[in-house]
Structure 1
Amino acid sequence: MKKTILFIHSAGPQERKKGSSNLSAYLEKELRDKFQFVMPKMPNPENPEYVLWKNQLEKELNMINGEVILVGHSLGGSVLLKYLSEESCNITFRGLFIIAAPYWGLDEDWQSKDFTLQSSFEGNLPVIPNLFLYHSRDEDIVPFKHHKSYAEKFPQATLREIEGRQHLFHNGLPILVNDIESL
């Protein structure tokens, strides 16, 4: 049986060639022979609310059997971290891959009660043997300092600092494919 990759997309429009659509299509194309993909459309992505995304994520997780690889892009990464640190689930997670995720509450430009993590959230995460963080050094949507904040919370994580300004990774992220395949 193939392992499942659950991909949680970014906020904003998700139509073809927008938001996380190119990145998720790239991952599915590159990995579909080895993995089953679950890529739900999250509720109201242009005006997201955590409780709605949490409920959708919970629904998706309840339908999956076996080991799961979680991939969260931008807001999707923030939602995965918040959910995993606040809720309990009886699933074995093989890996957690967080791409260009905002660290809510980091500074005045990134405030959201809905998405802000609890203090010491990292101690509440379930055991996940493989944690990877990806971020472009010069991107202007979610500044690189967010990546550095997560890196401080997760000294065990593999850090992938990408050259350039990419946030949406329209042409894919080959190193992510390699990292998933290496599990």
Structure 2
Amino acid sequence: MIKQVLFVQGAGEGVHDHWDNKLVASLERELGGNYVVRYPRMPGEDNPSFSVWKSALMREFALLEDGAMLVGHSFGGTILMHALAEQPPTPRLGGLFLIAAPFIGEGGWPSDDIGGAEDFSGSLPPGLPVHLYHGIDDDEVPTAHVHFYAKAIPHAVVRTLEGRDHQFNDDMSEVAWDIRSLG
């Protein structure tokens, strides 16, 4: 049985085609033929809007089957987390994987577009496995952000990885391993 993975890109000019596509290629390679990775182009990647990206995510969620895995990189992970907390999809999800996601809220980054949240545990789908990843050498988003998420999602598995930058050195092997362990 083929399992679905939805990968939500980060924000910034050219991110879909020149940066996060390398993460997707690594994830596809590492997961193998039993998985299909959906990688939609998010609207206005160079100037993201939460409401516009959330609407795009709701359309993507409607295409998912039970057991689908959600992966969000950087600001795409932030938007994915907040969209899930506000409006979980109908299918039962297999897992949520956030990579180098900025935390919006106390200690994290401010946003005029996204409300801060100090506790996601009650608003995520019940029993949803959550994995949080952050590279120690990330120069874009401070490592402290993964710990803010860990506090807001106490059941999350947290992995801080030595020698990994914001783009995880284009190596998604740990993420793929965790996806396969749940799949």
TM-score (norm 2): 0.90
- Displacement over 4 Å in runs of 4+: none
How many residues are aligned here?
181
Q: Which residue of 1 aligns with 2:165?
A: 166
Does structure 1 conserve the Cα–Cα contact (< 8 Å) formed by 2:119 and 2:153? Answer: no
Secondary structure in structure 1 of the residue aligned to 2:104: coil
Q: How does 1:34-73 map to 2 (within 5 A)?
A: 34-73=34-73
CA distance 1:178–1:121, change in 2 (3 Å) = closer
Structure 1 stretches of 5 or more lacking a match? none
Percentage of matched positions with identical amino acids: 38
Does structure 1 conserve the Cα–Cα contact (< 8 Å) formed by 2:100 and 2:141? Answer: yes
Does structure 2 conserve the Cα–Cα contact (< 8 Å) formed by 1:67 and 1:92? Answer: yes
Matches of 1:84 and 1:30 in 2, distance apart?
Answer: 26
Q: Which residue of 1 aligns with 2:112?
A: 113
Q: Which residue of 2 aligns with 1:23?
A: 23
Matches of 2:68 and 2:43 in 1, distance apart?
Answer: 22
Matches of 1:89 and 1:171 in 2, distance apart?
Answer: 29
Q: Which residue of 1 aligns with 2:99?
A: 99
Matches of 2:85 and 2:181 in 1, distance apart?
Answer: 25
Q: Which residue of 1 aligns with 2:146?
A: 147
1:134 partnered with 2:133: yes
Matches of 2:166 and 2:121 in 1, distance apart?
Answer: 24
More divergent stretch after superposition (32-41 vs 54-63): 32-41
Does structure 2 conserve the Cα–Cα contact (< 8 Å) formed by 1:93 and 1:128? Answer: no
Once the two structures are superposed, what CA deviation does each residue of 1:52-94 show, in whole Å capped at 9, x if it has no partner?
A: 1001100011122232101011111111110111114211111
* C-alpha displacement of 1:106: 3.7
More divergent stretch after superposition (167-176 vs 45-54): 167-176
